[in-house]
Amino acid sequence: MHKTFYVTTPIYYVNDKPHIGHAYTTLAADVIARFKRLDGYDVKFITGTDEHGQKVEKSARQAGLSPQEFTDKVSVFFQTLNTLMNFSADDFIRTTETRHKEFVQRMWNKLEKNGDIYLGSYKGWYSIRDEAFYPEKELVDGKAPTGNPVEWVEEESYFFRLSKWQESLLKFYDDNPDFIAPLARKNEVIQFVKSGLYDLSISRTSFKWGIAVPNNPQHIIYVWLDALCNYLSVLGEETQYWPCDLHIVGKDILRFHAVYWPAFLMSAGYPCPKKLFAHGWWTNEGQKISKSLGNVIDPIHLIEKYGVDYVRFYLMREIPFGNDGNYAHDAFIARINAELVNNIGNLVQRTVSFAYKNCNGVVPTAVLNSEDKKLIDIAYETIKSLRQHIEAQAIQEFIAEIVKLAQEANIYIDHQAPWNLKKTDEQRMNAVIYTLLEVIKVLAIYLQPLIPDSALKILELFGIKKIGFEKITNSLEFGSTLQKPEIIFSRLEVK
Ligand code: MSP
């Protein structure tokens, strides 16, 4: 039996088309999921759409469609993005699916059975954009702390006894110090819980678009209780994947995942997820990304312009995962040209072209010296630090490590100068070329989770298909055929 690994993205609101922030969250999960699969894990990687609630209902009305028609339409945009971004999700959950709705109602019954639900009335502020309740003390200049408008709500409502779970939550964070990352975010959550938890309103009566409360269908289940359940509802019978290994979320929705979700799970008798990682937010050329500013970055537009692998590389490489970051056109071009084109691309290009021309189109037979072996060993050993980086969701460092390996290979090729050896020492030339080809093969294996299409193109030069990490040290065979090299990373022109 393989060890399981379950990774999720938030499910996305379908009030609007996907933008770069959505692509970013799923991309990070995809890189990690792909890495784990290549590392021998039985992976479950899930994403989907969050389709109920007032916000979506309102957007549907504005579009002149029924909520169901509207969500059917917008959900497809997210599914299309997944295909275009080359995301390898194992399932796509929509909260309007029966499998999900039934699960949420069963969950409700469990919370109720445990004495954690009571009927009362809610009087307070609600932000439709955040789909969140805010106590008066959290408002800033009459708005939600997110800057979004709030409205006054007064209605009958079911409550979840969140306050009851305060101590259990604090104990849980204490017992599981790695539950929330990065560290600064964890401290925020603990502060928030320590400051005192209110019972949470978990039903609404003023609109209809959602899952009905069992036995009282006047009430619609709060969209966050509904949505969080997706992580379990999607598994169906495949409960072996629970508890989840990693929920990747944006920093804006950490509280729902770090406080409400474990409280619901504890109440219902489920084990809590092992880890939450909250990433930062992108700005566009220094500005907050917003529809009203008209500066939303459309990931599909970027893919059309630069190709999917350049977009994947840039987004994951540019900023440390966990920090906020800024999208800038110039930085995009500079990054791709420096690292993919000049460093990795150039290494592949000059080595394979040289081998193709001077070694009869095959991997040359070679006798390696200690310098050659040292470089190959460094390449093989790199998997250890890559593993550590992925374990820590340090995706930027993961890429930096691969880039560094390519740099070392470039230094080696310049130092060994096979183009000179060609005239003086053909045997050494063969050893140098063999070493470089082996390192390029290993580099391509490592690049598979990040830029799968390009990595496979490099591997194809050696007649290799998708290949797991356990085969890294299966060295290239002497005399095996090389394919004619074509340019894999073409230079981006600065306008
Ligand atoms: N539907 C909820 C999640 C429910 S999960 C049980 C939701 N959806 S969302 O569509 O608004 O946002 C989904 C994700 O996109 C969040 O993780 C959020 O952080 C991320 N991003 C939205 N804008 C972003 C940026 N500008 N930059 C980076 N990520 C951002 O919240």
User: Average pLDDT for residues 378-395, to the nearest whole number?
Assistant: 98
Tell me which residue has its CA closest to atom 9 in ligand 1.
12
Give the whole-angstrom CA distance, residue 457 versus residue 346. 15
pLDDT tens-digit map of 145-193: 989 999 999 999 999 999 999 999 999 999 999 999 999 999 999 999 9
Cα(469) to ligand 1 centroid in Å equals: 32
Do residues 454 and 328 lie in contact, with contact meaning Cβ atoms separated by under 8 Å?
no
pLDDT tens-digit map of 212-251: 999 999 999 999 999 999 999 999 999 999 999 999 999 9
Looking at residue 306, its pLDDT comes to 96
pLDDT tens-digit map of 306-344: 999 999 999 999 999 999 999 999 999 999 999 999 999
The reported pTM is 0.97
Q: Which two tokens stand for residue 193?
A: 């819980």
Mutate which of 9, 15, 16, 22 for ligand 1? The one with the most ligand atoms within 8 Å of its CB, which is 22
How far from 116 is each of 164, 194, 205, CA to CA, in Å? 8, 20, 20
pLDDT tens-digit map of 424-458: 999 999 999 999 999 999 999 999 999 999 999 99
Cα(371) to ligand 1 centroid in Å equals: 48
Do residues 2 and 40 lie in contact, with contact meaning Cβ atoms separated by under 8 Å?
yes
Residue with tokens 């969050």: 50
Mutate which of 14, 229, 249, 251 for ligand 1? The one with the most ligand atoms within 8 Å of its CB, which is 249
Cα(19) to ligand 1 centroid in Å equals: 10
Binding-site residues, ligand 1, Cβ < 6 A: 10-13, 21-22, 24-25, 50, 227-228, 230, 249-250, 252-253, 281-282, 289
Looking at residue 216, its pLDDT comes to 97
Looking at residue 1, its pLDDT comes to 65
Query: Average pLDDT, whole number, for the chain?
Result: 96
Closest-lying ligand 1 atom to the alpha carbon of residue 230 = 6
Lowest-pLDDT range of 115-119, 298-302, 408-412? 298-302
Q: Which two tokens stand for residue 289?
A: 């990304």
Cα(182) to ligand 1 centroid in Å equals: 17
Tell me which residue has its CA closest to atom 17 in ligand 1.
250
Tell me which residue has its CA closest to atom 30 in ligand 1.
21
Mutate which of 19, 24, 251 for ligand 1? The one with the most ligand atoms within 8 Å of its CB, which is 24
Cα(51) to ligand 1 centroid in Å equals: 14
Closest-lying ligand 1 atom to the alpha carbon of residue 249 = 17
Tell me which residue has its CA closest to atom 29 in ligand 1.
21
Do residues 280 and 323 lie in contact, with contact meaning Cβ atoms separated by under 8 Å?
yes
Cα(448) to ligand 1 centroid in Å equals: 26
Cα(347) to ligand 1 centroid in Å equals: 38
Cα(321) to ligand 1 centroid in Å equals: 15
Do residues 188 and 253 lie in contact, with contact meaning Cβ atoms separated by under 8 Å?
no
Mutate which of 50, 225, 254 for ligand 1? The one with the most ligand atoms within 8 Å of its CB, which is 50
Q: Which amino acid is residue 491, in one-letter code?
A: R
Please, which residues have CB within 8 angstroms of residue 204's CB and are 6 or more apart in sequence? 54, 153, 155, 157, 210, 219, 220, 222
Paired sense of beta strands 91-94 and 132-134, if any: unpaired
Closest-lying ligand 1 atom to the alpha carbon of residue 50 = 1
Cα(278) to ligand 1 centroid in Å equals: 11
How far from 305 is each of 79, 251, 299, 334, 450, CA to CA, in Å? 20, 29, 10, 15, 19
List, edge to edge, every strand of the sheet that includes 287-288: 287-288, 282-284, 325-327
Q: Which amino acid is residue 386, in one-letter code?
A: L
Residue with tokens 């599909």: 300
Cα(14) to ligand 1 centroid in Å equals: 11
Q: How confident is the model at residue 494 (pLDDT cuts 50, 70, 90)?
A: confident
Tell me which residue has its CA closest to atom 5 in ligand 1.
10
Tell me which residue has its CA closest to atom 16 in ligand 1.
250
Q: Which two tokens stand for residue 76?
A: 């497809």
Q: Which amino acid is residue 484, in one-letter code?
A: K
Looking at residue 293, its pLDDT comes to 81
